Structure 1
Amino acid sequence: MSTENRRLGTPVHHETGKSRKEKSSKGNHPLRSEIISWLQILLAAACIAFVLNTFIIANSRVPSGSMENTIMTNDRVIGSRLSYKFSDPERGDIAIFRFPDDESLFYVKRIIGLPGETVDIINGAVYINGSETPLDEPYLKEAMIPEEDMHFEVPEDSYFMMGDNRNYSYDARYWTNTYVARDKIIAKVLFRYWPLNKIGRVQ
């Protein structure tokens, strides 16, 4: 090959005989493979997060002090969506549910009244189904300040919710739509994950 043809043609590496373009192209493959691998990992993580949040867990921030001292203002909690797929909500459970007066909002309260029960609030104490013994509520922040007596009749397939900080809780006692339908209860709260120094089970 003449010197002129070499000058006009593709530069050739003298040791390997391969063009610089070929070497450059092959040198980019590891980077491209790494990018593709990371994209696959991110896509898989996004799919897993979607499945978890849609079918298995729910998370919520509690913006007020209505559940103190069980859950403090701005605590973040995780609930199990599966808990109520296989069993009914129970009295004493802390639940994440759609607020009956505005279903675009999610509330966190404790289940007090079950379907078909009556709930009476007399002198700051809660009575279920006309019992002479008030409901045992060791989770309350403080005793409820007595107001006028209240009487509620929980419909079938619905629940009556109250906050643990009774004197500062906007709950079923004051809502326009008093009761939470069974299918509006999203998850049972199990775990607090924020703040980090208070990570642990919630009961």
Structure 2
Amino acid sequence: MSARQEAKEWIKCIVVSIVIAFIIRTFLFNSTKVLGSSMYPTLHENDRLFTNRIVYTLGEPKRGDIVILKAPDDKNKDYIKRIIGVAGDKVEIKDGKVYVNGEEIKEDYTEKGAYTYSDESMWEVPKGSVFVLGDNRQMGASKDSRALGLIPVDLIKGKASYRYFPIDRFGSLYK
């Protein structure tokens, strides 16, 4: 093979690689950097996550999913929250505890003894919406459904699946 043909092959390989990387990043997976402490203790400031962008085109959001969503109050921001209620659920916050359909949910992802503050106490989740909370339940630590209301599913950009940085906490976000 001549040097010219070899150079063409290299250029073709590089262009194909760039196109594949663009398709993967745009349509399948993305990387997200955590800013703030609204998902503490699960996520910390500057954690980096892989986000699955296609999962909700294939299925519905589920309770417990950690999602990246377009902020309903600022289209230039994204929020990271946990889905607590899905279509048809009745979410209630009473005496600092969270109930879904009348049953207290086990929240082993919050700090021990965490108290969930709320002015409003009950939400019924309609089709096409979810109820989200940050894992950090300290007063004012998370801007979530308690302040923003129910979140339209079409604002969800993807499901956070794995933490890849820092290396010492690498792994799945789900137990």
Would you say same fold, with TM above 0.5? yes
Q: Which residue of 2 aligns with 1:160?
A: 131
Q: If each structure's strand is expressed as a fraction of its own residues, which one has the higher value?
A: 2
**1:40, distance to aligned residue in structure 2 (A):** 2.7
Cα distance per residue 1:16-48 (max 9 Å; x no partner) = xxxxxxxxxxxxx73x55554443333222111
SS across alignment from 1:43: helix
Please tell me whether residue 141 in structure 1 is matched to residue 111 in structure 2.
yes
Q: Which residue of 2 aligns with 1:19?
A: none
Aligned 1:86-125 pairs, distance under 5 A: 86-125=58-97
Taking structure 2 as the reference length, the TM-score comes to 0.86
**1:88, distance to aligned residue in structure 2 (A):** 0.8
User: Aligned partners of 1:43, 1:125: CA distance in 2, in Å?
Assistant: 53
Indicate the structure whose relative CO is greater, using CA pairs within 8 Å and at least 6 residues apart.
Answer: 2
Q: Which amino acid aligns with 2:63?
A: R
Q: Which residue of 1 aligns with 2:122?
A: 151
In the alignment, which of 11, 15, 23 is matched to residue 51 of structure 1? 23
Report % sequence identity.
36
User: Aligned partners of 1:146, 1:171: CA distance in 2, in Å?
Assistant: 12
User: Aligned partners of 2:150, 2:117: CA distance in 1, in Å?
Assistant: 22
Consecutive unaligned residues of structure 1, counting only runs of 5 or more, are 1-28
> Size of the alignment, in residue pairs?
170
User: Aligned partners of 1:98, 1:79: CA distance in 2, in Å?
Assistant: 14
User: Aligned partners of 2:21, 2:51: CA distance in 1, in Å?
Assistant: 15
Please tell me whether residue 69 in structure 1 is matched to residue 56 in structure 2.
no
Q: Which amino acid aligns with 1:188?
A: K
Q: Which residue of 2 aligns with 1:179?
A: 150
> Which of these two proteins has the greater Rg computed from alpha carbons?
1
Cα distance per residue 1:83-118 (max 9 Å; x no partner) = 212211110011112111223322211001111322
SS across alignment from 1:160: strand
**1:77, distance to aligned residue in structure 2 (A):** 0.6
User: Contact 2:85–2:91 at 8 Å: present in 1 too?
Assistant: yes
Q: CA RMSD in A?
A: 2.0
User: Aligned partners of 1:34, 1:188: CA distance in 2, in Å?
Assistant: 41
